[in-house]
Structure 1
Amino acid sequence: MPASTALLCLVVAIHDGDTLSARCGAPGAWRQERVRIAVVDAPESRQAFGQRARQNLARLCFRQQARLYRLGHDSYGRTLAHVRCQGQDVATAQLRAGLAWVYAPQAKQHPRLVALQRQARANGQGLWAQKRPLAPWDYRRQYLRP
C-alpha cells in the first residue's frame, strides 16, 4: 500500500467487481468519484463470475467507509486507487475469493498478489472452478470490442 494520505469516502455504488463510486470529502462539500481498484481486473458483468465479483465487492464496501489511496486516473477518467473497506485491502479480498485476476501488465510489480491468485487457482476458488476461465481483457477483446 502506498504511503500517501488516505482519502476517506463513503461507497455509494458498486458498478462491477473492480469499480465503485464513492462520496469523498467533508460533509456538505463532498464530491462523487468513480473509482477503479488498482492492480486487479474482475470479470465483466456478463462474463462468468462477473455478478459474483460485483456481489463480493458490494458485501465488502457498499455503504461502508472506504480509504482510497489515489494513484492517478485510468484511460476512462476514473480515479485509480488502492481501496480498503472494513479494514481489508479490496484487491486482496477479490483475488483471495477467486473473483479477479492480477492485471497482467502490473503482475511483476505485485508478486504477493500474484501468489494469492495462484493459491486461489490451485484451490479452485471462484472463477478458478471453471475448466478454462477467460481473463477479462481477453473477454473484452473477443466480445466487446470490434
Structure 2
Amino acid sequence: MKIKLMKSTYFKYLCILVLCVSFSSVEKLPHEFFAKVIGIKDGDTIEVLYNKEPIIIRLAHIDCPEKKQPFGQKAKQFVSDFCFDKEVKIITKGKFDRYRRLIAVVQYKNKILNKQLVANGYALHFKKYSKDTTYNILEKEARFYKKGMWSQKELIEPWLFRKRKVSKKAHQ
C-alpha cells in the first residue's frame, strides 16, 4: 500500500513538473505581441510561432461553426485567407481556456480577424464569454443582410451542435 501511494505521489509531481516546463515560456507572454501564423485549426483557432515556440490561439469573443457544420469549412478558409503565413498582432489578457489555448484578438493590417468573422457571417458573438457589444452589433448586421451562415433557413449554434454531439456519444 505504501509503495503504491509513493508511486502515485511521484507520478503527480512528475506531471506537475512536465506541465510547468512545457508552459513556462507561454505563461510569460506580453499582452500584445507579433507572431507568424503557421496553422489554421478551424474558424476560431489558429497556431502562431512566437520566439520559435508554437502557441495555439483561441479567438476571443466569437464561436465559429464546427468543421462538420454548414459554413465551418468556409470559416476556416476565411481565416486562412485573412492571415495564414502572415505576421499578425496578438492582443490578449493572458487567459487560457480549458484546452490550454491562449484567448486573444488577432489583428492584421488594422483589421481584427475576430470582428471580420462575425461581420461576414462566419462566427457568432459568444455572449457566454464576451460582453463586448460591438460583436453583437456586427452579428445583427450580418444576420440582417443574410451574410454567411445567416443565409441558411435554420441555424444551429456551434455550442448547441457540440452539446448534441456529446449527448449522442453518451447514448451509444
Identity %: 26
Pick from 98, 120, 142 the counterpart of residue 120 of structure 1.
Answer: 142
Deviates more, 1:46-55 or 1:98-107: 98-107
Q: Secondary structure at the match of 1:13?
A: strand
Partner of residue 34, structure 1: 56
List structure 1 runs of 4+ shifted beyond 6 angstroms. Answer: none
For residues 83 and 42 of structure 1, what CA distance do their matches in structure 2 show? 15
1:8 is the counterpart of 2:3: no
Partner of residue 109, structure 2: 86
TM-score (norm 2): 0.76
Q: How does 1:1-146 map to 2 (within 5 A)?
A: 5-25=31-51, 30-71=52-93, 72-107=95-130, 109-145=131-167, 146=170
For residues 147 and 165 of structure 2, what CA distance do their matches in structure 1 show? 25
Rg: which structure is higher?
A: 2
Of Structure 1 and Structure 2, which has the larger fraction of its residues in helix? 2
For residues 125 and 42 of structure 2, what CA distance do their matches in structure 1 show? 16
TM-score (norm 1): 0.90
Q: Residue 5 of structure 1: CA displacement?
A: 4.3
Q: Residue 87 of structure 1: CA displacement?
A: 2.5
Q: Secondary structure at the match of 1:140?
A: helix
Q: Aligned pairs, how many?
A: 138
For residues 97 and 84 of structure 1, what CA distance do their matches in structure 2 show? 16
Partner of residue 18, structure 2: none
Q: What is the aligned-residue RMSD (CA, Å)?
A: 1.3
Unaligned stretches of 5+ in structure 2?
1-29
